[in-house]
Amino acid sequence: METLFIDGKWAAADDGAHFDVLDPASGEVIDRASDAGAAETRRAIAAAQGAFPQWSAETAYHRSARLLEAHRLMLDRKEALAELLSLEQGKPLKAARNEIGYAAEFLSWFAEEAKRVYGSTIPSSRAGHRFTVLRQPLGVVAGITPWNYPISMITRKVAPALAAGCTIVLKPAEQTPLCAAAVVQILADAGTLAGVVNLITTAQPGPVGEELLRSDIVRKLTFTGSTEIGKYLAARSAETMKRVSMELGGHAPMIVFDDADPAHAAKGAVLAKYLNTGQACISPNRILVQRGIYRAFCEEFTARAGRLVAGRGSTPGVSIGPLVDGAALDKVAAQVQDAVSKGARLLSGGSRLEEGQLAKGWFYAPTVLADVDESMLIHREETFGPVAAIMPFDDEAEAVAKANATEYGLASYVYTNDLGRATRVSEALRFGIVGINDINPTAAAAPFGGIGVSGLGREGGADGIDEYLDVKLIGQVVGPA
């Protein structure tokens, strides 16, 4: 399959190279994607640069109309996109459909935000003088997106970029190039100008990334992925003073106080923990439960986790898909082994699933660990897998201190029925996102992002489009000197 999209045309790699796209549920080859390198990336950057003057000069209403048409097309193709997403990434069809809906929301939200890029005037202290402030598009944007949400993470970057008047070169994760190609086709069918959106797929991200980083034409880099890679990209972007947005790793705490209903809290915790097989940056990595309800919570959580069904995403009733690859499986297994060796109680799971067809994929049993402590790897390293780490605490101060004992600062969660406590704790938690009795504190209309090593900038909401705009001050003499 030709998966490069440069200057409005689908193309193969210059040397005809391709790489295999694998089904994580079986390890089998789904298709082949074009394997681009530096030369194709340079052409994509040039195409984006060439399209920028016309696209940025279009009215906000024109750009808005293109995004609204893309929104309509994405919803029209929802089922086909969900099936592709489930096949290529592995998540159950229900979750895949939810992601398509979430992805489409960014297109409609930023279609409206395009028409709300306002300037301002500032009174001057000098007679016959005016200040005017404009917000103008940055220019060419490079977007690097992950495999865990391979469609919504594209629209979360592309929609505000296009709404602002920027053009973009997109490099998706090598595990999910087909989803990226499907999204780019929608944007092309929606009537965006040639060169406005360009797609570079590759199994060798190094040379492609190097071209994006060294280019003076690329004025912004937006990245979702690991903290390690994010730090590298941010440092290299400084060489050309690129604007950066970094949505990086997390190590989310979930605090469950004893005034909460343990059964209700356990239900929410299971849904949050095992969403996308635990492969989400906002997945709760540490579940802190007040000692008075600790036993009841663990029992209810374990019972619910035990009812989760693992398998191919397209199979009815499946709620746990495969991990993305063998390395992810090994990391999860190593964390569980380390925790158990240091005294954690294994309440359920704890092994690779190898029965029948599951043996062909990268499946790990939904796992519950109790009595986790600070000595264990899982307490400080992001898991990105279906393993719940539960630990007790005694009082509010201890819970907040333990929750904040991490360099990450993306998402956090609190279960309590005490309004005063909810206010105190949410303000004390050092995280960019706090969910109070809410396991899904995200939406296209809300800002998403973290503090600390979890990233820079915000995606979504009114803040999201600001990441793609420069502020220009104009001072003008309008009367006699």
What are the catalytic residues? Answer: 247, 281
Contact between 170 and 160 (Cβ < 8 Å): no
- In DSSP terms, which residues pair with 31 in a beta bridge? 21
Closest CA to 118 of 462, 452, 474, 481: 462
CA distance 182 to 80: 10
Give the chain's length: 481
Q: What is the DSSP letter of 393?
A: E
Side chain identity, residue 206: G
Give helix 419-428 / helix 396-403 axis angle, nearest 10°: 30
- What residues have CB less than 8 Å from 128, skipping those under 6 apart? 477, 478, 479, 480, 481
- In DSSP terms, which residues pair with 253 in a beta bridge? 286
Residue 96 CA: distances (Å) to CA of 78, 103, 149, 151, 273: 9, 10, 9, 9, 17
Neighbours of 133 (CB within 10 A): 13
CA distance 373 to 434: 23
SS3 123: coil
- In DSSP terms, which residues pair with 391 in a beta bridge? 288
CA distance 226 to 283: 14
Contact between 415 and 254 (Cβ < 8 Å): yes
- In DSSP terms, which residues pair with 452 in a beta bridge? 408
Q: DSSP for 277-346?
A: GG-STTSEEEEEEEGGGHHHHHHHHHHHHHT--BS-TTSTT--B---SSHHHHHHHHHHHHHHHHTT-EE
Structure token digits, residue 284: 């709760």
Q: What is the DSSP letter of 242?
A: -
236 burial type by CB count under 10 A (0-12 exposed, 13-18 middle, 19+ buried): middle
Query: Taking the CA of residue 467 as centre, how many other CA atoms within 13 Å lie in the half-sphere pointing to its CB?
Result: 31
- In DSSP terms, which residues pair with 33 in a beta bridge? 19
Contact between 40 and 13 (Cβ < 8 Å): yes
Closest CA to 68 of 115, 107, 116: 107
Instruction: Please identify which residue in the block is written with the tokens 């190609």.
Output: 181
